Structure formats: structure tokens, C-alpha cells
């Protein structure tokens, strides 16, 4: 099995690649290593994969249609795990064009190449953000997702619709709606890194919606297990009158699944766990809700577990402890390296 992972230097992409390599799979990874956040962090994630003989890396921007087409013609992938995207809800209000380029044009380039080269299974990242203004809990794949609250969410919903069209043409597609992924090697633009840095530096942390935020925090290893568990579960036409369930399709080999911890947690409790393992209290400043934020997320994961079996659900206390251990080790090492080069 040869698997293409786009966004392989990213938080989720690098973790999926590393686990596949540990399972002796052949992995080709691509990434443009852009400077949306610290490039060194991306390079260090990537460095974990480089020692494996069955791993190869190419620096490619998915916006480059010709480079993507040539990549597919060269390697003949059986499976694609498309994770490359411009992430972040709030950044989409500041720089919308990069979301259109990466999440729409780039997505189109990759899925078209996968279709042309008859890939067996195209797995792609979506997001819990697509649920937008939906107030029903837990979020189910059967729910309406027609009212996104950010351009980021809108591009992810567009990806789902585009994938359905390609599935109708004959490319089996599975989309995964990720719910608030956290853990070692997290993106530095995410709240967890901000909170950790500010607590350690005795700076205040901003807690939005006056603390009335609930998230289905999902540990990175649990996400990886779900993605890899899906690889060999190639969708087919449902043939079961599923027209009321937009996550499945009677007319196309297409599925959408939530992937989360199924354990919504108050943000204040999340911060308390971080304080516990940092052994330091946070200075909290309560703030109003931000534009584009969803106050409450909670994943219904029954459809995915019915397909691949019970998912691991790492308790927050365990995941947070592992994150803090990684944070101290990684950033201490980075600081020592910087000092040695000064």
C-alpha cells in the first residue's frame, strides 16, 4: 500500500504518517512548509519520518496544479489522505484569499488528480466548524450544515460537496469532521499553546464567551487511529434509502464521519487540567465571544464506530499530561539549541 499524505508536516499529517511508517506502509508526503506558523516546528515534525526508508517527501504547494498532476502520475497512489489546508477560524477573517486558494483551489487540484489516476480511496479532512449555528447536541452527521459562521467552515463544507460530486463520478471519498484536536506537536496558533506560554510567562490568558465554552477535545492519537482505521473501509453506494442522511449517498461511494472524543468538556476545566500539570495558576481575563466561534461542540461518533469498531477515547487528564511533558521537552531543547548557536 502506498499512501499519499498532503500536509505531512502538519500536526495531524505528521502523526498519521509516523504511525503508518511504524506499520511498515509506504508513505509519500507533501507540504509547502509555509510560514503561517513556525517553520522549524514543521521541519521537526517532518524529521521524525525521514529516517524511515519507506518515506519520501516532496515540497509541493497544492495550488500548483501541474506539480500535483505530475506527483500522481509518478507514484500511482492507492490511497490519499488529504490534510493540507489553511487552518484557523479567526485567521480566515483577516486573510480570506489564502483559504480560497488552499482550501478550494488546492483541494480541487488534489481530488481531480486522484480521480484521474483512479485512486482507490480518497480521505479528506473536514471540521466540526461546519456545524456552525446548529444548536442541536451532540452534532450528528445527519444534521444540517448550511449555516457556517466563518469562511474556514464554508470552505470545509464546500470540500464535502465537491467530494460528493467526484464520488458520483466514481472516486470513493470519505470526509472526517475533526473535533478540537490537541496533544504533542500542536499548532502554536491553537489555544493550548497560547495558554501554556502565557501561564508560564505570568501573562494573562483570554477566555472568550465569559468562559461559557465547551469543546469535544480529541487527543491526537485517537484521531490517528480513526484515520488509519478507515483506509481499508472503502465506501460504496449505500443502496439503503439514505437520502435523509447527507453523510451517506445512495448514488455515490461517499461518507462523512465525525471523529471526536464524545466527551464535551468545559473550557474552564480544560484550563484547570493545564494548570495542574504545569503546576502554575493562570491569570484569566474573561472576554466576550469572538466572531465565528461556536460556543459548544460535541461529536456523535456512532456512525464511525459502527464501521471500524470502538475508537480510543483518551481521557483529558492523560492527554494533557502527555502534552505538557512534550512541551517542556521540546521547547527546552529548542531554547538550548538557540543558545548554542548564539
Asked whether the beta carbons of 106 and 98 are under 8 A apart, the reply is no
Residues involved in catalysis:
152
Q: Compute the CA torsion angle 265, 269, 273, 278 (nearest 10 deg).
A: 130
* DSSP character string of 115-182: HHTT-SEEEEEEEGGGGTT---SSB-TTS-----SSHHHHHHHHHHHHHHHHHHHT--EEEEEE--EE
Distance CA 128, CA 179 (A): 5
Distance CA 303, CA 125 (A): 17
| Cα dihedral 312, 161, 7, 90 sign | negative
User: Grid coordinates representing 260?
Assistant: 471526536
Amino acid at each position: 500500500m502506498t499512501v499519499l499524505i498532503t500536509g505531512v508536516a502538519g500536526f495531524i499529517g505528521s502523526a498519521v504518517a509516523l504511525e503508518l511508517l511504524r506499520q511498515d506502509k509506504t508513505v509519500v508526503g507533501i507540504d509547502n512548509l509555509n510560514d503561517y506558523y513556525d517553520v522549524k516546528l514543521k521541519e521537526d515534525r517532518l524529521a521524525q519520518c525521514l529516517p524511515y526508508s519507506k518515506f519520501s517527501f516532496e515540497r509541493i504547494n497544492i495550488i500548483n496544479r501541474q506539480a500535483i498532476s505530475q506527483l500522481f502520475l509518478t507514484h500511482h497512489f492507492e490511497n490519499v489522505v488529504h490534510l493540507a489546508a489553511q487552518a484557523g477560524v479567526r485567521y480566515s477573517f483577516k486573510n480570506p484569499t489564502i483559504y480560497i486558494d488552499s482550501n478550494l483551489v488546492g483541494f480541487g487540484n488534489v481530488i481531480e488528480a486522484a480521480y484521474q489516476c483512479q485512486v482507490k480511496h480518497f480521505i479528506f479532512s473536514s471540521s466540526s466548524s461546519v456545524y456552525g449555528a446548529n444548536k442541536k447536541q451532540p452534532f450528528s452527521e445527519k444534521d444540517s450544515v448550511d449555516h457556517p459562521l466563518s469562511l474556514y467552515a464554508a470552505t470545509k463544507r464546500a470540500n464535502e460537496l465537491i467530494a460528493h460530486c467526484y464520488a458520483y463520478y466514481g472516486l470513493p471519498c470519505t470526509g472526517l469532521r475533526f473535533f478540537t484536536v490537541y496533544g504533542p506537536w500542536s499548532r502554536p496558533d491553537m489555544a493550548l499553546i497560547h495558554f501554556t506560554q502565557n501561564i508560564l510567562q505570568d501573562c494573562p490568558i483570554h477566555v472568550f464567551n465569559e468562559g461559557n465554552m465547551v469543546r469535544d477535545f480529541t487527543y491526537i492519537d485517537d484521531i490517528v487511529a480513526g484515520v488509519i482505521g478507515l483506509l481499508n473501509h472503502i465506501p460504496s453506494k449505500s443502496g439503503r434509502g439514505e437520502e435523509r442522511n447527507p453523510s451517506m449517498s445512495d448514488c455515490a461511494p461517499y461518507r462523512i464521519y465525525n471523529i471526536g472524543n464524545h466527551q464535551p468538556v468545559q473550557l474552564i476545566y480544560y484550563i484547570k487540567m493545564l494548570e495542574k500539570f504545569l503546576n502554575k495558576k493562570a491569570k484569566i481575563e474573561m472576554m466576550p465571544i469572538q466572531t465565528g466561534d461556536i460556543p459548544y461542540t460535541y461529536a456523535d461518533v456512532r456512525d464511525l464506530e459502527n464501521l471500524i469498531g470502538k475508537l480510543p477515547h483518551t481521557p483529558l487528564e492523560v492527554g494533557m499530561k502527555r502534552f505538557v511533558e512534550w512541551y517542556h521537552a521540546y521547547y527546552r531543547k529548542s531554547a538550548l539549541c538557540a543558545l548554542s548557536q548564539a
